[in-house]
Amino acid sequence: MRTAGPLPPLWWGQCVAPCWPDLQLTLAGSATQLLLLDLQPRQRAAALARLQPFARRHRLQLQPTPETRLQPWLQRLFARFPEPPRQVCWLALGTAFQRRVWQALQEIPPGQTRSYGQLAAAIGQPTACRAVARALAANPLLWLQPCHRIVPATGGLGGFRAGSTIKRQLLVQEGWIDDITARFGC
């Protein structure tokens, strides 16, 4: 994870998500670093609506790129699906607290989950459950920073920006559960 220094020229692009044909994948980054990976229903306007405030908040100038230029990134990202790639460099744009939360997510192996409280304790702030939840909601790299592995201690799936159906699919694909309805009744 890179967190300092001048930003290189940045691009953004959209395509159908390789593993989820009903979802739009929005990527943004540089030649060597990924800045944003977002999954949304296939509605271009919705994905752009999320990307524009993100770019303004971080003072980024993003240039559109054709879908064909996304292919090298897609190959690197999805080569070992459902496991996220280990060797992708990304730029963490967030507060120091958010970056600590996102870094702690990397320690949760595929097929395992943690509660919001366990994640808060892992970063040394066991009473910061709600702040952890807000940091997860701001996670710019869905699936790569695996916020889908965080579930409520009381049961159920909890929230996920891409929706509970995608969260359920990711957890099933990672082998956390064979049938989520048997585990939580949802």
Q: What is the DSSP string of 120-151?
A: HHHTT-TT-HHHHHHHHHT-SBTTTS-GGGEE
The rounded distance, in Å, linking the Cα atoms of 40 and 50 is: 10
Q: What is the pTM of this model?
A: 0.75
Of 47, 42, 32, 45, the closest CA to residue 2 belongs to: 32
pLDDT score recorded for residue 78: 79
Parallel, antiparallel or unpaired: strands 20-29 and 34-41: antiparallel
The residue written with tokens 């949802």 in the block is 186
pLDDT at 10 over 70: yes
CB contact set of 40 (below 8 Å; sequence gap of 6+): 23, 24, 26, 46, 47, 50, 162
DSSP state of 83: S
- The sign one gets for the Cα dihedral 57, 1, 112, 20 is positive
- Span of 59-73, 113-127, 169-183 with lowest mean pLDDT: 169-183
Of 130, 132, 120, the closest CA to residue 94 belongs to: 132
- Span of 9-23, 87-101, 140-154 with lowest mean pLDDT: 9-23
Mean pLDDT, the chain, integer: 79
96-184, what's its fold?
Arc Repressor Mutant, subunit A (1.10.10)
pLDDT at 180 over 50: no
Active-site annotation, residues: 147
Higher per-residue confidence, 139 vs 39? 139
Model confidence over 101-136: pLDDT tens digits? 999 998 998 889 999 999 999 999 999 999 999 999
pLDDT at 166 over 60: yes
Higher per-residue confidence, 74 vs 107? 107
Sketch the domain layout of the chain as residue ranges: 10-78, 96-184
